[in-house]
Structure 1
């Protein structure tokens, strides 16, 4: 397991766009109140390698890092493809998701600073589950605002959080001013990550001993998730004897993209090789429910609806966009992160969008061939990998395709049933 996180900000194809921080108070002032100082420093660090605190390393090892890299032989035979398809198995972690990688780190820094409560938002619930577990193991309270339609669709994720002592509230929430305002304007609002972020930050501002934890969209989160790409590089070389980026082969790293944390964690450590001429391609798979990277407008906007975050330049559906209440809660936000958008804008990152049925069909195929059931979000990455393999076969190439299996689907069975079987 890596003992250092890799800070890939220096490997980006250009400078990060300036943020617009025009609120009163400013987003920077809000962050100083609700975010542990160590995390603020990591968010803007220029160090290339940042040591992981030994307690965090040990905790991650106990949770199962490094996670397996699985060669999907049966899927390959079913497809009749010459591609070599690997799955990075983040679904095997205790909460069934890669989100635990940064939840453990952020909870550690919050506890070190003397914070008593962790407050956050969650979409499909995987981030909320990870924060709930990290809080309990750190001796902290947890308060989690979960997107309302996801909470209704995935009640067992709520049950998991509550078993750990977390307080779980639907978003938009009647416990916050922004939530009450949204519900007054749209009583049947299904909720989104934008509403949940607003609820969580407002709540954290009301409690000086609380820390607000971000599950995605920020450099500090991408930093913690570089464990993904670092482990993949080592496992491919030492276990499977594979090198990535062989000229003309069309190797791909594929991940779903919501806030971009699993995507950036996978590709971030490989950006330098790509810039140095490696024939390595990065692919983001998103949902047609919120197709920011494929259909959005490159513009300034906020990721929340309450005005607590700064305006960042990214691909956006607009702040008035309300995503439909489908089963891919982790991909349902209106504005993409500045970093992911920069990679897309500069041509480093490709993107595709899939409707819910297509993605879940890919998830079903993986279950029927490899026996692995992934979350709906991760199934989008599987769908993208199937297309990559088909195109490679048509072009007589045999690439290495690494798919990030970012989450388990066992708590998403109702969604799979409703979309694929309940006809």
Structure 2
């Protein structure tokens, strides 16, 4: 009988994260201090982030960064995660392609987000910080950080994008069960939130708005730091445990991926699955194709512009060289709340500009059709975010059928959808709509970015 799952042992959990910055053929442009427009130094980030996260953010020399033993101890709760051959999906598609997925949905909170939540909370505790803040879209990052904060005895305030706060009440319940305070964003509790509500009373929020509120609270509260679930380099670094494990597991399967796919919001899970494989493209050993799958309603990699922009709506963050739709872009209220972000991280943006990665934007209804096919053939109900990766993998398999090829496809199943069933109900009843951003709207929004520098 051929193997379905490829399982590593706890001793195989990586002992170091892979830092792609150290091996990129061309480094990204630097993050800029928004006040001086000068390249950031690590100490510029100390008022916002923990000191260790700030140092990791700007570390472009060390290829490997050691994972603290306390972090690895918590990783052992659910890592290593399985690599699974999607034989049921292959059969349903009638494809000769070999499809694999890394199942990050087995974590205690049902997603990959714990991979970075744990080290960020650990660094805060080690530094003597007592309070942390963050934003969350669909609630996966907020749930993960809530668990990590509870483990390390930290108080946590989470600004949850308002549309998801109401769409996904059970993710809010998870955060509150672990002891976090959850606030619908925009809120009246911060200057940034009050300004947005005053100007747009019915605004349902965005990750950019929630980031502004969380950063403001962190910088105005004693002994408090902000923690981030995506976009920046140190978050992508922590997520590379996914790809490092997958490398070993693909070797166990006797194959190597021709195509690696991840859904894309800010870049955390996409970076985690792709960066360890990408290093072999840098060296010329391999020629794997990497595909970021983003929503058609928030197409920063496929239709955005590549230039400096803020990571939040109010302009509190450093200026990031990114593919962006503009920091005040208001995304449609799709159910993939974790992907409703206006920009891409600096590293992914640089790699995209140099042709190392591809990107596709996928309509919401196509992602849910893919989710249903996956659930019925593999038994796992995926999160709406992860369904973008599944849809992209299905596209690749169908293209292979047409071309008569048999590629090895690997995608990251970044989370399960068991708390997203309201979205599935809407799909079943035919109430889900697709949203495509007009090019004129994107141009009008991004033309304003010229004023930033």
TM-score per shorter chain, which class? over 0.9
Q: Return the alpha-carbon distance in structure 2 between the equivalents of residues 346 and 395 of structure 1.
A: 27
Task: Report what 2:141 is aligned to.
Answer: 127
Conserved 8 A contact 1:30-1:308: no
Q: Using a 3 Å threshold, how does the CA distance of structure 1 residues 373 and 161 change in structure 2: closer, same or farther? A: same
Structure 1 position 394 matched with structure 2 position 409: no
The equivalences for 1:159-238 within 5 A come to 159-238=173-252
Structure 1 position 49 matched with structure 2 position 64: yes
Task: Report what 1:248 is aligned to.
Answer: none
Task: Report what 2:448 is aligned to.
Answer: none
Q: Return the alpha-carbon distance in structure 2 between the equivalents of residues 340 and 25 of structure 1.
A: 22
| Structure 2: tracts of 5 or more residues without a match | 1-12, 432-453
Indicate which of 9, 19, 23 corresponds to 2:31.
19
The equivalences for 1:260-409 within 5 A come to 260-277=267-284, 278-409=286-417
Offset at residue 30 of structure 1 (A)? 6.2
Indicate which of 3, 27, 30 corresponds to 2:15.
3
- Report the more deviating stretch, 327-336 or 154-163: 327-336
- Report the more deviating stretch, 326-335 or 189-198: 326-335
- Report the more deviating stretch, 316-325 or 197-206: 316-325
SS in 2 for 1:308: coil
Conserved 8 A contact 2:278-2:288: no
Task: Report what 1:257 is aligned to.
Answer: 264
Q: Using a 3 Å threshold, how does the CA distance of structure 1 residues 319 and 411 change in structure 2: closer, same or farther? A: same
What TM-score results when the alignment is normalised by the length of structure 2? 0.89
**Per-residue deviation, residues 15-66 of structure 1 (Å, max 9, x unmatched):** 211333232799766621131111111112221111111111111002x100
Q: Return the alpha-carbon distance in structure 1 between the equivalents of residues 225 and 425 of structure 2.
A: 37
SS in 1 for 2:380: coil
Task: Report what 1:242 is aligned to.
Answer: 255
- Report the more deviating stretch, 75-84 or 38-47: 38-47
Q: Return the alpha-carbon distance in structure 1 between the equivalents of residues 201 and 322 of structure 2.
A: 29
Q: Return the alpha-carbon distance in structure 1 between the equivalents of residues 312 and 44 of structure 2.
A: 13
Task: Report what 1:247 is aligned to.
Answer: none
**Per-residue deviation, residues 219-273 of structure 1 (Å, max 9, x unmatched):** 11111111011000001102x12134xxxxxx11000011101111111112221
Offset at residue 405 of structure 1 (A)? 0.2
Structure 1 position 67 matched with structure 2 position 81: yes
Q: Return the alpha-carbon distance in structure 2 between the equivalents of residues 292 and 22 of structure 1.
A: 22
Conserved 8 A contact 1:11-1:271: no
Conserved 8 A contact 2:102-2:413: yes
Offset at residue 422 of structure 1 (A)? 4.7
Offset at residue 399 of structure 1 (A)? 1.2
> In the comparison of the two structures, how many residue pairs are matched?
415
Q: Return the alpha-carbon distance in structure 2 between the equivalents of residues 43 and 194 of structure 1.
A: 20
Task: Report what 2:98 is aligned to.
Answer: 84
Q: Return the alpha-carbon distance in structure 1 between the equivalents of residues 204 and 24 of structure 2.
A: 36
Q: Return the alpha-carbon distance in structure 2 between the equivalents of residues 418 and 308 of structure 1.
A: 36
Conserved 8 A contact 2:208-2:328: no
Q: Return the alpha-carbon distance in structure 2 between the equivalents of residues 73 and 25 of structure 1.
A: 52
| Structure 1: tracts of 5 or more residues without a match | 245-250
Q: Return the alpha-carbon distance in structure 2 between the equivalents of residues 243 and 180 of structure 1.
A: 51
SS in 2 for 1:358: helix
Q: Return the alpha-carbon distance in structure 2 between the equivalents of residues 24 and 171 of structure 1.
A: 29
Offset at residue 141 of structure 1 (A)? 1.0
SS in 2 for 1:33: coil
**Per-residue deviation, residues 143-197 of structure 1 (Å, max 9, x unmatched):** 1000000111000000111111110001111100000000000001110010000
Conserved 8 A contact 1:360-1:420: no
